[in-house]
């Protein structure tokens, strides 16, 4: 069964922490040991695991992606959001996290992020739990 939830972003580019929502799905479904696969069905955002202690890390990641994939290139895509598509390809649409003792196995400083590149928007996140 696929479990879905929505995230409303508030900026053109941002990293929205979704760790709590994903952990809630694991807990609600009683998964003690297994795998949690997370997927975003959109082409202008992605998913990442990174530090969740210092907000400057998120700002640095977004700033560097914006610097490397700028808007001042003669893109052919007519919607004007080609940089968002490129960033989404670089980051990727899915993650897999182990579950043990009913909890996501993340490092001490790690969190799960929806990486928005074409916001603000309402995005949908899909999760699939596999019990082992």
Task: Judge whether 7 and 105 are in contact, CB under 8 Å.
Answer: no
- 103-131 pLDDT tens trace: 999 999 999 999 999 999 999 999 999 99
Mean pLDDT of the chain: 97
Range of the domain at 82: 2-23+42-93+105-122
Tell me if 127 is assigned to some domain.
no
Q: How many domains does the chain have?
A: 1
Model pTM score:
0.96
- 55-79 pLDDT tens trace: 999 999 999 999 999 888 999 999 9
Tell me if 63 is assigned to some domain.
yes
* 59 phi/psi in degrees, rounded to 5: -60, -40
Tell me if 13 is assigned to some domain.
yes
CB burial of residue 11 (10 Å; 0-12, 13-18, 19+): exposed
């Amino acid at each position: 069964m696929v479990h879905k939830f929505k995230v409303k972003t508030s900026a053109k580019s941002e990293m929205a922490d979704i760790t709590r929502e994903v952990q809630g799905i694991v807990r609600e479904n009683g998964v003690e040991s297994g795998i949690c696969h997370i997927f975003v069905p959109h082409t202008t955002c992605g998913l990442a695991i990174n530090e969740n202690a210092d907000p400057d890390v998120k700002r640095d990641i977004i700033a560097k992606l914006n610097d490397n994939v700028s808007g001042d290139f003669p893109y052919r895509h007519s919607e004007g959001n080609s940089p968002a598509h490129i960033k989404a390809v670089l980051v990727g649409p899915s993650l897999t996290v182990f579950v043990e003792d009913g909890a996501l196995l993340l490092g001490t400083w790690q969190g799960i992020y929806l990486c928005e590149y074409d916001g603000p928007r309402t995005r949908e996140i899909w999760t699939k739990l596999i019990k082992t």
